[in-house]
Each structure stands twice: as structure tokens, then as C-alpha cells.
Amino acid sequence: MPLDGASAASFGAQLHADLEACARISLVLLGHQLGLYQTLLEAGPLTSVELALASGTDGPLVRQWLASQHAIRYLEHDARTGRYRLPAEHALVLADDASPHSQGRHLDALGECIGPNAELLDLFRLEGADALCKPSPPIKSDRRAMLRNLLSGELVTEPESSTRAESSVRPQVSRHM
């Protein structure tokens, strides 16, 4: 039976959209776990430096997180003042646990399902941007690369050990009927 290239392309597009949604929700979960949405709700519009100071997180990483949240329209940005604002309607969903619209418990459950995000949280809380450049064990290095990619909007990166030639090699499939 011949393969349908259009069907494969359509499914590839669907999977890519799902991966983008996963990347977006990973950053939403990070903001939830770090209390960034809660801080914006309580303090009002803040710059990246002000949010980092108020939440005890790293300024450059928070700046990138804020830009990503603005890009997906979760936050509003005032270019004149440099402040980011959590719209009241979004706050009901993201930061107000008393709201009937709150998704906080669902984000908490998702965090439990996908496992602890401790290393990523620590990058924001303790080590910050300098840690992204330091050599570290492979697992942490992979986490750093994943964080860099999420914040930059990139979904996939080739492992550092592979080359372009290695990544283009496809396994041969043998069919015996």
C-alpha cells in the first residue's frame, strides 16, 4: 500500500502544533510554580527587574519568560514603561485560587504528572543565567538546553554529540512477506 505524503505532512503539522502547545504550557507551569503570575497579580504591572526582585528569581531569565508570555498573549506589555501586566481576566485563571475560573489546581496536577521541575526552578531561583553557561553533568546540561530552547521559542535541538551527518542517517527497514 503506497504511503500518503499529504496525510503524513498533515499529521506532522498536528504533532508540531502539539509540541508547541507543550512548550507553551511548560513555561506557564514554570511561571505558576515560581509564583510569577501571583506576584504580578499582587504587585500590578512590573518590569523584568522588579518581578525578579519581588519573586526572588533571576532577572535575565525572567525577562525572557516575560517576553515569551507576552508573545503568546498571556501578559500585556507597555513598551513605554517596560512593564508587564497580567490582565484581570487572565489573573482569574492563572493566579487567583479563589476564582471559579482558576486553573491552579490543574497546573499543580500537571506538575505532579510530568515530574518535578526542580532543576529548571533552581536555574531561575538560584543559579540564573550564569548557570546556563557553566559546564555541568549531562542531565543538567540537557535541562539548560531545554530551558534555553523553551525561552527562545525553539522546540528541538540536536544533541551536542551528534553531527549533521549522523542525524540524517535513517535506519533501513527490511520487509519480509
Per-residue pLDDT tens over the stretch 82-111 = 999 999 999 999 998 899 998 988 888 888
**Residue 123's pLDDT is what?**
73
Outline where the chain has alpha helix (H): 5-34, 36-43, 48-55, 59-71, 88-94, 104-114, 118-122, 129-133, 138-152, 164-168
Residues of the chain with pLDDT under 50: 129, 131-140, 156-177
In the chain, domain spans: 23-162
How far from each other are the two terminal CA atoms of the chain, in whole angstroms?
13
pLDDT of residue 21: 85
pLDDT of residue 159: 34
CATH number of 23-162: 1.10.10.10
What pLDDT does residue 149 have? 66
pLDDT at 50 (0 to 100): 96
pLDDT of residue 173: 34
Which cell goes with 168?
540524517
Q: Return the half-sphere exposure (C-beta side, CA atoms, 13 A cut-off) of residue 83.
A: 10
Residues linked to residue 78 through DSSP beta bridges, in sequence order: 83
